Structure 1
Amino acid sequence: MTSIQKKRKAFVEASYCVACGCCVKVCPLGAIQIIDGITAQVSMEKCVGCGKCAKECPASVIEIREAEA
């Protein structure tokens, strides 16, 4: 029987992101970038789900939740 391991990752609600860059500045692994000056995008390969970006986001549009690995 194969078990699916779940890991915590950051997810951005792109339609509400104001692209301020606060999350980019606090991410210790450089897993977030601002795309076209419009929204933040998280690299699922780099993100470890530490939550620093979610705490820093002034628009509260970043959520840490489980993602299938």
Structure 2
Amino acid sequence: MKVQIDPARCQGHGRCYDLSPDLFTEDDEGYGQVVGDGVVPPGGERAARVAVSNCPEKAIVLVEEA
């Protein structure tokens, strides 16, 4: 599983990096960024889903890998 942020939708609310700091960080302007390559580590699925469900702009997407 991977997380991605659509930069066109992100408005910089910061909920992703406040709620899931292992998966997200902020850029110089306060917009969310994915940490590393976006791969969710084992046991991090819940944190990823919490970030997705709390993004008011629906800018975070989970990509299930086969």
Cα distance 1:18–1:66, how it changes in 2: closer, same or farther (>3 A)?
A: same
Equivalence for 1:41: 33
Task: Say what the alpha-carbon RMSD is for the aligned residues.
Answer: 2.3
Question: Residue 12 of structure 1 aligns with which residue?
Answer: 5
Contact 2:16 2:24 in 1 (8 A): yes
Identity across matched positions, percent? 20
CA distance in 1 between counterparts of 2:23 and 2:4 reads 11
**Alpha-carbon displacement from aligned partner over 1:37-69 (angstroms, at most 9, x marks no partner):** 25211113663362221111011110101358x
Q: TM-score, normalised by structure 1?
A: 0.68
Q: Highest Rg: 1 or 2?
A: 1
Query: Aligned partners of 1:45 and 1:56: how far apart in 2?
Result: 18
Whole-angstrom distance in 1 between the partners of 2:30 and 2:2: 21
User: How far off its partner does 1:34 sit?
Assistant: 1.2
2: CA distance, partners of 1:36 / 1:47: 23
Structure having the higher strand fraction is: 1
TM-score by length of 2: 0.71
User: For this pair of structures, how many residues does the alignment match?
Assistant: 60
Q: 1:67 & 1:21 partners in 2: Cα distance?
A: 26
Q: Is the 8 A contact 2:2 2:39 kept in 1?
A: no
Structure 2: runs of 5+ lacking an equivalent: none
